[in-house]
Amino acid sequence: MTDTTLKTAARPPRRIRIADLAREYGVLVIIVVLLVALTMLSGSFLTPRNLLNILNQSTPLFIISCALTLVIIGGGFDLSTGAIFGVASVSAGWLAVSVDPFFAIVAGPVIGMVLGALNGVIITAFNVHSFLVTLATSLVYRGMAILVTNGKLIPVRIEEFSWLGRQKLDLGGGVAVNVAVIVMLCFMALMMFVLNRTTLGRAVFAVGGNEEAALLSGIRTNLVKIITFAISGAAAGLAGVITVSRLSMAEPQAGTGLEFEAIAAVILGGTSIMGGAGAVWRSMAGVLLMALIGNGFNILNVNPFFKDLTTGVIIVLAVALAAAGNRR
Amino acid sequence: MAAGQTAIRVRGVAKSFGGTRILDDIDLDIDAGTVHALVGENGAGKSSLGKIVGGYYTPDEGEVSVFGERVTRFTPREALSRGVAMIHQELQLVPELNVVQNVFLGRESARGGVLTRGDEERFAALEKTCDFGIDPLAKVARLRIAERQKVEIMRAIARDARVIIMDEPTSSLTEDEADRLHEVIRRLKAQGKTIIYVSHFLDHIIANCDNVTVMRDGRVVRTSPIAGETKKSLVDSMLGQESDILWPELPPAPDGSVAPIAELRGVATHSGLNGISLTIRPGEIVGLIGLVGSGRTEVARAMFGADPITAGQYLIAGEPQGRLNVRDAVRRGVALVPEDRRKQGLVLTQTTRPNVSLGTLGAISRSGILDTRREVARVKEMIAHFGIVPGRVDGRVARYSGGNQQKVLLSKWAVARPRILILDEPSRGVDIGARQRIHEFIVDMARQGMGVLLISSELEEVINLSHRSYLMSDGRIFGEAPSASLTVESALHRVFLEQNRRSVPQEAAAQ
C-alpha cells in the first residue's frame, strides 16, 4: 500500500456522542455540580481553608484508592487494605515509641508492602481469586494487629513522628498545607507515572485486559500481579502511618471498613472492575466526590445518617451510567 | 399449517459490525413446513442471518416478518413469542440441571412461584411426540453433545416453536448421530414445523433439505429447490468466480546448506505431539498442512515455549533450548501470531499503541520508563506500513474490523524484528484487501531473513506462500514436499488418506 492511498483512505468521522462523554467524564460533571451547589448553599464552603481541610481529611483514602486502582486495572481485588492499614498503624506506633520515630515512618509502608506482596504470592502461587485470598488475609492481618498490642491503644506523642500528620507548610496569604497532603499528591503523581509511563503500567493494563495475550507477549504476569498487590499494601501502610501521626494514637482496629470505601471510590471514578481499563485520576475524583458529600453534610448540618445512603445512591447511579454507555 | 404459507420473510436486511458490513440487502422467503438450508463459506453471513431471524441481532436496515407479522423488536424472547427458536452452535443449557429442568427452564409448572409437580408428565407427553429416548432425570453435564442437542430441540418444542433455526447442528456429531438428528428433523417437518438449517456439510443438506439459499460475502446468491443441486453446483455458487488473489512472489528459497534458524528433533509434548522433526532456515517460509486437530497449532505453541517439550530437542540458531518459556522464546527472537486474535492476541480494553508495544516494551524503555515519543513514532510507522484504518495511534482496537485488528497484531511482532515468525491462521476472518496486505507482509519478513512458519486452514494460502510444506496428521509429521509441487487437491488427498489409514485400525480396535 502506498502513501497516497493512505492519505485518501477515508477516516470515519469522529462523532462525539453525549452518552460517551457522560460515561467518560460523568464523575467530573457530578463533582462540578456538587461544588457549585455547595458554594451557593454555604458561604463557608468555597474557602481555601475548607477545601484543604477536605483534602487533608481524606488523605489516607486518596493514597489507598490510587494504589488500589492499579490492582483493579490488573484484574485483581484487594480487600485487605483496611487490615494492612491496621497492622502498619500499630507497628509504626510501637516502633516510634520504642525504637526510632523516623525508622517507624519508613517501616509502616515497608511492612504494608511485605504483607501486600504476600497477598500477591498466595494469589499467583495457588491461582486463587484475589477476592478470596485478600478476604482471608484481611482477617489474619487484623488479628496480627490486635495481637501486637493486646488490643490496646498506643499513644504516640513524639514530635519527630507527628510532623508527618500535623505539620503545615505556609503557602503565604494565611494558607497552609499539611505535609500529609503534599505526600499524598506526590504519591498520586507517582502512581500516575507508573501507570502511564512505565513498562510496568503497560503490563498492568495488559494483564487485566487479556492475561493470555500478555503471557504470549512475554510478560511475567504473575510478577506483575504481585507488584500491584505490594504497591497496594505499601499505600495502606503509608496511609496508616499518616493517620497515627495525625492522631498521636495507634489503634489496632483502625482502618476497619476502609477497604470498602477505597473500592467504592475506584468504582465511582469509573475504573472497570473487569480490569484492563481505568485511570488514577478517576479514583482521585471518586474519593473527592465522596469527601465532598461528607463535607456538604457537615457544613449544611444535615443529619449525617443520610451520608452513607447518599453515597450509595450516587455509586449506583454512576455505575448504571457507565453500564448504559457500554450497551450497544 | 397450510402448505405454501411463508413462515419467514426477510426484505432488504443489512447488518454491520465495527465498520464491516456482514450482511447486505438480504431478501429471503422460507416456506412453512419445509427444511431450508443456508450455505456459504466461513464469513458469508449465514450464521448472522440466522441470528437476526432468531432475534439475537437487530438488523441495521430492512425488515423481517414471521408468519406475515412484521418483527419490531429483535430479542430472543420476542422471537420465541412468535414461535421462532434458535439452537446454537454452542449449546445453551444449564449443565448442573437435569433434562426436565432444562426443557422447562422458565416455564416450570408452578403455582404462585412455588414449584409444583407436573413437569415430568409434561415431559412424558413431549417425549411421545419427539421419541428421543433421553433419561429425563439425567444431569445435562453428563450428556453427550448429540443428546444435549435433543434437549435443546425439546426445549424449543416445549415453547411451541413453529420455526427452529439450527446453527451447524452436525458439526460436533458423529455420522451416526447426525443421521439420527436428521431423522428427528424429518419428524418435526411431518408435524408441520419449519426448520432453518445452517451448515457447511453439503452432503447433509442435499439429503435432508427442501430448499437452499446460497450466500457469499454477506449477500444472497440464489435460493432454489434442492432437487437438481449437486455438491459441485453449490460449491460453484458459494465461491463465485475464481477469486483473483494475486500471490506475491516468494524470495528464492535459501540453500540447503544454510544452517537452520529453528530445528525440532523428535519433539513430543503433553498436548499430543509425537516425534516432530522439522527445520526452518533464515529467509524460508515453511508451511504446515493438516486438518483441524492434526497438531499444527501445538507445534506453534511448543516452538513458542507455551507448551513444555517433554521429549526431543529444540534448537534455535543451533543452540539447544532447555526448559523454554514464552519469555525466553521472545527474548531469543521467536514471535507467535496466535490463532485467536481476540482471545490470545489483543488487549481489547486498550488502544492501538499499547497493543503494538506489548511484546517489545523493553526496547522502547530505559529502566522501566517508557520513551513515549519513540513509541508513538514507531506505532505511526506501523500504521502507515500496514495501512491500518482508522489510522489513529489511540484508536479503540475493540471497534476495528477483523482485518485491521489482525494488522495491529502483526505490527506487534513486526516491531520486534524476530528471527523466527510463527503465524497461526494469519488471515482468518479478514477481508480480501487485508489478506493481500498480510500476504505481502509474510513474504517481506522472509525476504528480510526471518524464518517463517505458516499455518493456515486455507491450503491455497500455505501452498502459494511457502517454500516447503510439512504434512501433519494426528500429532505427527508424515510427509514433506516443496510447496510448488503440491496442489490443494493433492495435499488434501494425502492428508485425508493418512487420517483414514490411521483411524481405521483404531476403530477396529475399539469394536
Residues 6+ apart with CB under 8 A from B483: B287, B462, B463, B464, B466, B467, B468, B469
CA atoms of B63 and B27, how far apart (whole Å): 9
Backbone phi and psi for residue B501, each to the nearest 5 degrees, phi listed first: -60, -40
Best interface-test mutation with B: which of A202, A205, A220, A231 has the largest number of B CBs within 10 A?
A202
Cα torsion angle, A278, A279, A280, A286, sign: negative
Residue A179 in any domain: the answer is yes
Residue A19 in any domain: the answer is no
Residue A32 in any domain: the answer is no
Assign residue B474 a region: left if phi > 0, alpha if psi is -120 to 50, beta otherwise? left
The pLDDT of residue B2 is 46
Q: Taking the model in full, what pTM does it have?
A: 0.76
Q: Does the N-terminal peptide bond of residue B426 adopt cis geometry, omega within 30 degrees of 0?
A: no
CA atoms of B450 and B87, how far apart (whole Å): 46
Confidence of residue B501 (pLDDT cuts 50, 70, 90): low
Confidence of residue B487 (pLDDT cuts 50, 70, 90): confident
Q: Domain range for residue A222? A: 52-293+304-318
Which contiguous run of DSSP H or E holds residue B287? Answer: strand B285-289
Residue A236 in any domain: the answer is yes
Confidence of residue B231 (pLDDT cuts 50, 70, 90): confident
Question: Smallest CA–CA separation between A272 and chain B, in Å?
Answer: 10
* Average pLDDT estimate for B435-452: 91
Question: Smallest CA–CA separation between B331 and chain A, in Å?
Answer: 8
Q: Which residues in chain B are contacts of A74 at CB distance < 8 A?
A: none
Q: Which residues in chain A are contacts of B394 at CB distance < 8 A?
A: none
* Average pLDDT estimate for B488-497: 78
Highest mean pLDDT among A214-223, A229-238, B85-94, B402-411: A229-238
Question: Smallest CA–CA separation between A158 and chain B, in Å?
Answer: 39
Q: For the segment B273-312, what is each residue's pLDDT rounded down to a tens digit? A: 999 999 999 999 999 998 767 888 999 999 999 999 999 9
Residue A193 in any domain: the answer is yes
The larger pLDDT score, comparing residue A241 to residue B22, is at A241
Q: Which residue does chain A place closest to B336, by CA atoms?
A: A216
Structurally, how many domains does chain A consist of? 1
Cα torsion angle, B129, B133, B138, B139, sign: negative
Q: Which residues in chain A are contacts of B326 at CB distance < 8 A?
A: 215-216, 218
The larger pLDDT score, comparing residue B484 to residue B508, is at B484
Nearest-CB residue to A202 (from B331, B336, B354): B354
Question: Smallest CA–CA separation between A80 and chain B, in Å?
Answer: 27
Average pLDDT along chain A, 328 residues, taken 10 residues at a time? 38 55 78 89 84 91 97 96 96 93 95 97 95 96 91 89 86 82 95 94 94 90 97 97 94 92 91 91 94 86 82 81 60
* Average pLDDT estimate for B395-421: 88
Q: How far is CA A326 from CA A21, A185, A270, A322, B18, in A?
A: 12, 32, 12, 6, 15
Give the residue from B328, B300, B324, B327 showing the smallest Cα distance to B314. Answer: B324
Residue A298 in any domain: the answer is no
Confidence of residue B77 (pLDDT cuts 50, 70, 90): confident
CB pairs under 8 A between A and B: 97
Q: For the segment B101-130, what is each residue's pLDDT rounded down to a tens digit? A: 888 887 787 777 777 788 888 888 888 877
Confidence check: pLDDT of B164 > 90: yes
Q: Which residues in chain B are contacts of A220 at CB distance < 8 A?
A: 327
Q: How far is CA B306 from CA A1, A73, B299, in A?
A: 34, 25, 10
Residue A164 in any domain: the answer is yes
Residues 6+ apart with CB under 8 A from B389: A9, A11, B404
Q: Which residue does chain A place closest to B305, by CA atoms?
A: A216
Nearest-CB residue to A12 (from B329, B368, B390): B390
* Average pLDDT estimate for B256-284: 92
| Residue A220 contacts B, CB cutoff 8 Å | yes
**B347 contacts B405 by C-beta, under 8 angstroms:** no
Q: For the segment B185-227, what is each residue's pLDDT rounded down to a tens digit? A: 998 899 899 999 988 777 888 889 999 999 888 889 899 999 8
The bridge status of strand B309-316 relative to strand B365-366 is: unpaired
The pLDDT of residue A197 is 92
Question: What CATH number is given to the structural domain containing A123?
Answer: 1.10.3470
The pLDDT of residue B387 is 87
Give the residue from B83, B87, B88 showing the smallest Cα distance to B7. Answer: B83
Residues 6+ apart with CB under 8 A from A88: A108, A109, A111, A112, A236, A237, A238, A239, A240, A241
* Structural domains in chain B plus CATH codes: 6-239 (3.40.50.300), 244-251+258-333+418-511 (3.40.50.300), 348-417 (no CATH)
The pLDDT of residue B507 is 44
Q: Which residue does chain B place closest to A198, by CA atoms?
A: B369
Question: Smallest CA–CA separation between B361 and chain A, in Å?
Answer: 6
Q: Which of residues 176-205 of A touch B (CB under 8 A)?
A: 197-203, 205
Residue A41 in any domain: the answer is no
